[in-house]
Amino acid sequence: MIQCWRLDTADTTLVLASHNGRLPEVLHFGARLPDGESLVALWRAGMADVTGGMLDERPPMTICPMQEDVFPGAQGCDANLQFRLKDAAEGEGTLTLTYADGDAEYRLEAQADADTGVLTLTAHYRGLEIGWLTAPAFPVPPSSDHFITYGGKWIGEFQEKRVPWTTGTHTREVRDGRTSHEAFPGVLIPCGDGVIAAHLGMSCGHRFVAEQLPDGRRQVQFGPMLGRRETEVTAGPLYLTRAPDRDGITANLHRHFTKHIRTFADPDRPRPVHYNCWEAVYFDHSLRELSDIATRAAALGAERFVLDDGWFGRRDDDTSSLGDWTVDRRKWPDGLGPLIEHVKSLGMTFGLWFEPEMVNPDSDLFRDNPHWTLGPPEQPLGRNQLVLDLSRPEVVDYLFEWIDAILTEYDIDYIKWDHNRPLPFPDHRQAAATYALIDRLRAAHPGVEIETCASGGGRIDWGILKRTSRVWLSDSNDALERMRIQAGALPWLPPCVTGSHVGPRTCHTSGRILPMELRAWVAAQRSFGFEMNLLELTPEESETLARVTTWWKANRDWLHRGTVHQLPARDPEQVAEMTVSADKSRFAVWLGQRGAPADILPDRLRLSGLDDRQYKVRMISHYDAGWLSRGDNALKSDGVQLSGTALMAFGVQPPVLTPASIIVLEGEAA
Ligand code: GLA
């Protein structure tokens, strides 16, 4: 007996088929099928033949391949159970399938958002102890010859890795308990007729499996790394979408993110320009200097001042005080009030750094409660710290109480929530407890927004982003690195939540000296801010920073509602991106040249996402290639006016690009 269900978005259909009441296979995930298509006929059309060397039936590749299926590939769960369909509930764009074996249960929850084109799939398991459960696994068509996964590192997140499909299993595990710098849990799968994208929205480390069987079938699994064997596990949500191309994926994911994931305390408030003092003063806090910096920051256009690490306990470096969340009276004899009053008098709001899940052995918290930590007593420290065990309610209550006290005493609208060391072992419960703590604090302080940071981009995923409003994408403020990291992260992270700061002239993580024009325009691609000692700026640097800040503030509204396109560049040293406003009446283009150009002249830049209106295009960045540029280029003078069609089909010729430079174009419907 065959039972089928379908879920549709505007242009995609997912068909699930359950044979003899067993866990379902994804029969089809592709172009939208006509209403009324016979799903049973579809199943029959896909029935496999059998030949020598095979069983008498081809084992199904279900959303959770099990031992009982005699499936010859990676299993989706390591229990030996025989689930049979107990209940199927279909709603408007939703499907819940419940399977049981005695008291054990497997439940699939699926939603399809017709507007965004994104499916959300979650597996819930209850039963015998298991050590592995995949979020619903999905098949990949034979037309795909590779997939794109993510590598990376601290100060070098979101590095795309192209992996060809070949018979066998590609497995990657993140075992350090965080989403990780090294392996963002997302995959892009180019297929003959488009691209599939999937993301596991969990913050606890994950296993990713991409497998091709000897019979040619492929499956992808994504699931949480469990800390121990469990009798109840949720794997997901897994966000799954497909589109004709990568820009279409970005558009679907950004739409879905905006509708379901994004949480801004006040959605009508434009994203504020941040000032963060970390790379200006590190742990060296003084009211006088920070007040002077705040005055400069406000004059340059900042709207939120964030006091980073160093304000609490006796924290003069990273060896002490995590866990002691009281103001350091040596540095702040009158508390944080005087600085906050000054910041507010300048028209800015105030944000504060915390790293709640951690403790230094050199802290009152640890001296009083050495047993509150996660992992064995003898374990290597990470950045001189240990992880607090959030499965203990008294630990969570302690953290809530002290953070709540600071948020109650002071006028704070922002927390930078850091997480600077891996866990001693994978522990998905720790992530769940962190979510609960954040939820509790947000309920008590609904006006406070949170930024997720884990030494930069170590905890970026849609699970944490459901409760935070911004990511600190990377500890690298090197604009050339940032360009690449921002491009890698773009499909998964809309610009309005992706923090990007103009860093110091000499970059602290690379030693490179980069011009302000480049640093400022790269930060202006995302959620803009500055992070450097503003008292050291030259007048020219101040002028550039103020100019770009003014531009960003004047344009952020449409930029943050617009559609982002990544423009193809043949030169591997180029990164090109444009944002088109929702009504297509304006756009901005960033063309960055990271290293030495591949060719003597850049290629003509062909734009995307426009209609056939006439657009005036001009260069708004200050171009200076010195004597290297001596031609009569339109963008160098008064720009061009062309139809959107011509700008896409023919393009516009950029002037000569020098290494470590950027040009920014603005277009407006004429
Ligand atoms: C982490 C963050 C930095 C800064 C420091 C403070 O490394 O990523 O931005 O907040 O912690 O210790």
In order, the DSSP letters of 476-544 are ---HHHHHHHHHHHTTTS-GGGEEEEE--SB-TTT--B--HHHHHHHHTTSEEEE-S-GGG--HHHHHH
| Count of all residues that appear for the chain in the document | 670
Q: Quote the CA–CA distance of 139 and 436 in Å, as a whole number.
A: 33
Residue among 284, 285, 418 whose CB has most ligand 1 atoms within 8 A, to mutate: 418
Q: What angle do CA 550, 553, 555 make, to 5 degrees?
A: 110
- Mean pLDDT, the chain, whole residue set: 97
Average pLDDT over residues 30-43: 97
Confidence of residue 569 (pLDDT cuts 50, 70, 90): very high
If you take atom 11 of ligand 1, which residue's CA is the nearest one?
455
If you take atom 12 of ligand 1, which residue's CA is the nearest one?
309
Q: Quote the CA–CA distance of 391 and 433 in Å, as a whole number.
A: 7
pLDDT of residue 551: 98
Distance between alpha carbon 410 and the CA centroid of its chain, in Å?
Answer: 30
Reading the block at residue 447, the tokens are: 């006006």
Please say whether the beta carbons of 433 and 374 come within 8 A: no
pLDDT digits (tens, 9 = 90+) for 243-279: 999 999 999 999 999 999 999 999 999 999 999 999 9
The conformation of residue 604, written as its DSSP 8-state character, comes to P
3-state DSSP assignment of residue 372: helix
pLDDT at 63 over 90: yes
Amino acid letter, 18: S
Please say whether the beta carbons of 339 and 352 come within 8 A: no
Ligand 1 centroid from CA 420, angstroms:
7
For residue 319, the tally of other CB atoms under 10 A from its CB is 15
pLDDT digits (tens, 9 = 90+) for 432-445: 999 999 999 999 99
What is the fold of 565-669? Immunoglobulin-like (2.60.40)
3-state DSSP assignment of residue 337: helix
Average pLDDT over residues 301-330: 98
If you take atom 6 of ligand 1, which residue's CA is the nearest one?
309
Average pLDDT over residues 358-383: 97
Pairing mode, strands 414-417 and 349-354? parallel
Confidence of residue 65 (pLDDT cuts 50, 70, 90): very high
Ligand 1 centroid from CA 400, angstroms:
21
Q: Is 68 left (phi over 0), alpha (psi -120 to 50) or beta?
A: alpha
Ligand 1 atom nearest 318 alpha carbon: 12
Residues 274-557, CATH architecture: Alpha-Beta Barrel (3.20)
Please say whether the beta carbons of 547 and 541 come within 8 A: no
pLDDT of residue 588: 98
Best CA proximity match to 137, nearest among 152, 119, 125, 123:
123
pLDDT at 193 over 90: no
**Residues near 156 by beta carbon (within 8 Å), at least 6 away in sequence:** 181, 474, 476, 481, 485
Ligand 1 contact via 420 beta carbon (within 6 Å):
yes
pLDDT at 629 over 90: yes
Catalytically active residues are: 418, 475
pLDDT of residue 457: 98
Confidence of residue 227 (pLDDT cuts 50, 70, 90): confident
Ligand 1 contact via 461 beta carbon (within 6 Å):
no
Looking at the chain, the domain(s) classified CATH 3.20.20.70 span 274-557
**Cα-trace Rg, the chain:** 26
Ligand 1 centroid from CA 539, angstroms:
29
Residues 2-261, CATH architecture: Distorted Sandwich (2.70)
pLDDT of residue 112: 98
Ligand 1 centroid from CA 190, angstroms:
36
pLDDT of residue 34: 98
pLDDT digits (tens, 9 = 90+) for 451-504: 999 999 999 999 999 999 999 999 999 999 999 999 999 999 999 999 999 999
Best CA proximity match to 364, nearest among 407, 410, 413, 313:
313
For the chain, give the percent of residues with pLDDT over 70.
100
Q: Quote the CA–CA distance of 480 and 648 in Å, as a whole number.
A: 26
Ligand 1 contact via 351 beta carbon (within 6 Å):
no
pLDDT of residue 561: 96
SS (H, E, C) 14-62: EEEEEECCCCCEEEEEEECCCCCCCHHHHHHHCCCCCCCCCCCCCCCCE
Amino acid letter, 658: T
If you take atom 7 of ligand 1, which residue's CA is the nearest one?
455
Buried b (16+ CB within 10 A) or exposed e, 334-347: ebbeebbebbeebe
Task: Quote the longest CA-to-CA distance of the chain.
Answer: 83
The conformation of residue 596, written as its DSSP 8-state character, comes to S
Amino acid letter, 164: P
Ligand 1 contact via 456 beta carbon (within 6 Å):
yes
Best CA proximity match to 280, nearest among 503, 544, 539, 519:
503
Q: Quote the CA–CA distance of 471 and 492 in Å, as a whole number.
A: 12
pLDDT of residue 646: 98
Confidence of residue 624 (pLDDT cuts 50, 70, 90): very high
For the chain, give the percent of residues with pLDDT over 90.
99
Angle between helix axes 539-559 and 516-523 (nearest 10 degrees) is 20
Q: Which helix (H) or strand (E) holds 188?
A: strand 186-191
Ligand 1 contact via 529 beta carbon (within 6 Å):
no
Q: Quote the CA–CA distance of 475 and 481 in Å, as a whole number.
A: 10
Q: Nearest 5°: phi and psi at 593?
A: -115, 105
Ligand 1 centroid from CA 309, angstroms:
7
For residue 636, the tally of other CB atoms under 10 A from its CB is 16
Ligand 1 contact via 453 beta carbon (within 6 Å):
yes
Please say whether the beta carbons of 499 and 471 come within 8 A: yes
If you take atom 1 of ligand 1, which residue's CA is the nearest one?
455
Ligand 1 centroid from CA 354, angstroms:
10
Ligand 1 centroid from CA 466, angstroms:
22
pLDDT at 658 over 90: yes
Ligand 1 contact via 308 beta carbon (within 6 Å):
yes
Q: Nearest 5°: phi and psi at 613?
A: -65, 165
pLDDT at 374 over 90: yes
Looking at the chain, the domain(s) classified CATH 2.70.98.60 span 2-261
**Residues near 36 by beta carbon (within 8 Å), at least 6 away in sequence:** none
3-state DSSP assignment of residue 597: coil
Residue among 274, 312, 319, 475 whose CB has most ligand 1 atoms within 8 A, to mutate: 475
Looking at the chain, the domain(s) classified CATH 2.60.40.1180 span 565-669
Best CA proximity match to 489, nearest among 186, 272, 243, 153:
186
If you take atom 3 of ligand 1, which residue's CA is the nearest one?
455
pLDDT digits (tens, 9 = 90+) for 510-524: 999 999 999 999 999
Amino acid letter, 478: D
Ligand 1 centroid from CA 322, angstroms:
13
Ligand 1 contact via 475 beta carbon (within 6 Å):
yes
Ligand 1 contact via 355 beta carbon (within 6 Å):
no
Burial class (CB in 10 A: 0-12, 13-18, 19+), 113: buried
Q: Quote the CA–CA distance of 234 and 230 in Å, as a whole number.
A: 10
Residue among 420, 474, 477 whose CB has most ligand 1 atoms within 8 A, to mutate: 420
